[in-house]
Chain A
Amino acid sequence: MKKVAAFALALSLLFAFAACNDTERYVNGFSMGSFYYAEYRSSSEQNERIDRVLLSIEKEYSVNLSSSCLFRINQAKAGEEIELTEEEFSLFSALFSLSAKTDGAFDPSLFPLVKAWGFDPPFDPKGKVPPSDSEILTALEASSLSFFTLNKETSSISKSKDDALLDFGASIKGYGAEKVMQAIEKNVKSALINVGGTIAAVNRSYLVGITHPRNDSYEYLFSFTLEQGEICATSGDYERVFVSEGVSYHHIIDRKTGRPSNSGVVSATVISENGLYADSLATAAVVLGVEKTVNLFSELGVKGALITEDKRIVPIGLNIIQIKDSSYSVANDAKEGA
């Protein structure tokens, strides 16, 4: 009997100790044109580390800060060599090759077109009007990755057209979420990192809800489990929208038309352990539409779910847990159907 009592006492002390040791912590801030926050359990505070990672990424890749390599490239004249750090160089290479895999549906060189539409940061929808056909055409002519050359020997980049511009806005939140995960995963018991809606699950799984694309009054449209080590990103035609003469224009531009995409996919969620993939492919999926996205995802080994204009939820290797709006229905798992 006494042994049992002693064991129970030890157990209770252990629980009490565990409860005191790992404190629930929270940090938030603003970087890369969006908010970020992290909720984490840890015996030590990681706020500064998290802030530092995200602020340094902003300094390096913001199109508006003179400290950024993108700013320097965008300002550069044709033929000018811009030196890149090793890390910058590998990020550029990764994004350029990812863009090729999506057949330009995700394209960091669309920035002239994004600017023509006025979706460059900081975005202000007030009084916006769509660009004219000739403005779109001119911007399209400057929007191509083929104007950029990466030089491995000199670790540099140059461009062959003065007004060719780069912007990593569609990828950088995923990159940031992954960098924060790497920076803190050894120091926390668990953490949820949210960089402008791109979420990383560190050391445990989290239940995540996806924004209803058409009705703000729903807390979310559907939920799923984001497994430990995964990052999920969502892009939708409901974000960054302006209305002109009763027509609304969203920020995801299709390079084939030079206009906001109209593929039938209104929201795309991508899940991957690679944050760059998750973020960039979410944009690509909205442009590509259901069929091409299903093929691309299986090719690249990522999971996700699409929401279509006609109220279907198309899971791609993902288990949908709950749907809040009963007017939406789950289409058969596209992977099995294909």
Chain B
Amino acid sequence: MSHNKKNRKSTYSLFRIWDVIVIVVVLLLVALALYFTLSPEKGSRAEVYVSGEKKAELVLSKDAELELNGLKLIVSGGKIWVHSSDCPDKICEKTGKIYKKGQTIVCLPNQVIVRIVGKGEVEAIS
């Protein structure tokens, strides 16, 4: 009698362990799916477009220089800016350093847009 009882108990606990494993795995999957759905992107990047076409992508954590379509772009200290441009209005130069999502540099005469992809406080600027 005591043998029988012991046996039943061990199969019961085996079932429980598998249930727990399945649930833990599924919950991990849910967490993973949620993470990829909701989490913001980690490292900030700058994408550079000319006439609507993406021409370059720069990681802001790595210093760099880029000459493109009359503009000289500099990445340093986690920020990007137009160092110089051959455009008449120089609005792109005056925009200064950008580093947060929602910020853009626009050079209208040269049809260049620099856009930050990553984290930000606001989603756009008017």
Contacts and interface: CB of A to CB of B under 8 A. Distances in A.
A90 B111 CA distance: 32
Interface residues of A, number: 48
Interface string B26-43: 110110011011000000
Interface stretch (A1-9, A67-75, A77-85, A253-261): A1-9
A28 B122 CA distance: 19
A208 B115 contact: no
Interface stretch (B58-66, B70-78, B94-102): B94-102
A207 B126 contact: no
A333 B92 CA distance: 35
A208 B122 contact: yes
Interface of B: 16, 19, 22-23, 26-27, 29-30, 33-34, 36-37, 49, 51-52, 88-89, 94-96, 98, 100, 102-104, 106, 108-109, 111, 113, 115, 121-126
A5 B121 CA distance: 38
Contacts of A86: none
Given A28-B115, A37-B104, A210 B52 contact: no
Interface stretch (A97-105, A119-127, A164-172, A288-296): A119-127
Chain B at the A interface: mostly helix, strand, loop or mixed?
mixed
A114 interface: no
Given A15-B37, A19-B33, A34-B108, A216 B23 contact: no
A192 interface: yes
B22 A5 contact: yes
Contact of B26 (A8, A192, A234): A8
B44 to A, nearest CB: 13
B122 A223 contact: yes
A169 to B, nearest CB: 13
B125 A15 contact: no
Interface in A204-218: 206-211, 216-217
Closest 5 A/B residue pairs (Cβ): A15-B33, A209-B122, A29-B52, A12-B30, A8-B26
A94 interface: no
Given A4-B23, A15-B33, 14 more contacts: A12-B29, A12-B33, A28-B113, A28-B115, A37-B113, A122-B109, A197-B126, A207-B123, A209-B124, A210-B126, A219-B100, A219-B122, A220-B122, A234-B126
B95 to A, nearest CB: 7
Contacts of A233: 126
A28 B19 contact: no
B108 A35 contact: yes
Contacts of B115: 26, 28, 37
12 contacts: A2-B19, A4-B23, A15-B33, A19-B37, A28-B49, A35-B106, A37-B113, A211-B125, A219-B98, A219-B122, A219-B125, A232-B126
A194 interface: yes
A11 interface: yes
A199 B34 CA distance: 29
Contacts of A322: 121
B111 to A, nearest CB: 5
